[in-house]
Amino acid sequence: MKEGRIELLTGNEIVLKAALQAGAEAFFGYPITPTTEILQGWANAAKNNDSLIYLQTEDEPAAGFGVIGAALGGKKAWTTTAGAGHLLMQDAIVVAEAMRVPFVAYIGQRGGPSTGTVIYSQQELSIARDGGNGEGFRVVLGPSNLQELYEQTINAFDIAYKYRLPVFVLGDGYLSKMTGEVEFKKMVKISPAKPIVQNGRKNVNIRNCYSLEEEIAAVIAEELADFRTISRDVEKSEVTHCSDAEIVVFAWGTVANAAKDAVNKLRSEGKKVGLFRPVTLKPFGATRAKQAVKNAKAILIAESSFGKFGRLVTESLFGVGDLKVERLYKPAEGILAEEIEEKLRGML
Strands 139-141 and 166-172 come out as parallel
Q: Residue 198 — φ and ψ, nearest 5°? A: 50, 45
For the domain covering 6-234, report its CATH number.
Answer: 3.40.50.970
The answer to whether 242 and 293 are in contact (CB under 8 A) is: yes
First-to-last alpha carbon distance for the chain, in angstroms, is 47
Full-model pTM: 0.96
Rounded Cα gap, residues 333 and 283, in angstroms:
26
Q: Which residues contact 10 (CB under 8 A, 6 or more apart)?
A: 37, 176, 177, 178, 179
Rounded Cα gap, residues 184 and 150, in angstroms:
8
Delimit the domains of the chain by residue range.
6-234, 237-347
- 6-234 matches 237-347 in fold: yes
Going residue by residue through the chain, which has 348 residues, state the pLDDT in tens, using 9 for 90 and above: 667 889 999 999 999 999 999 999 999 999 999 999 999 999 999 999 999 999 999 999 999 999 999 999 999 999 999 999 999 999 999 999 999 999 999 999 999 999 999 999 999 999 999 999 999 999 999 999 999 999 999 999 999 999 999 999 999 999 999 999 999 988 788 999 999 987 777 677 888 899 999 999 999 999 999 999 999 999 999 999 999 999 999 999 999 999 999 999 999 999 999 999 999 999 999 999 999 999 999 999 999 999 999 999 999 999 887 899 999 999 999 999 999 999 999 999
Which listed CATH number (3.40.47.10, 3.30.9.10, 3.40.50.10210, 3.40.50.920) goes with 237-347? 3.40.50.920
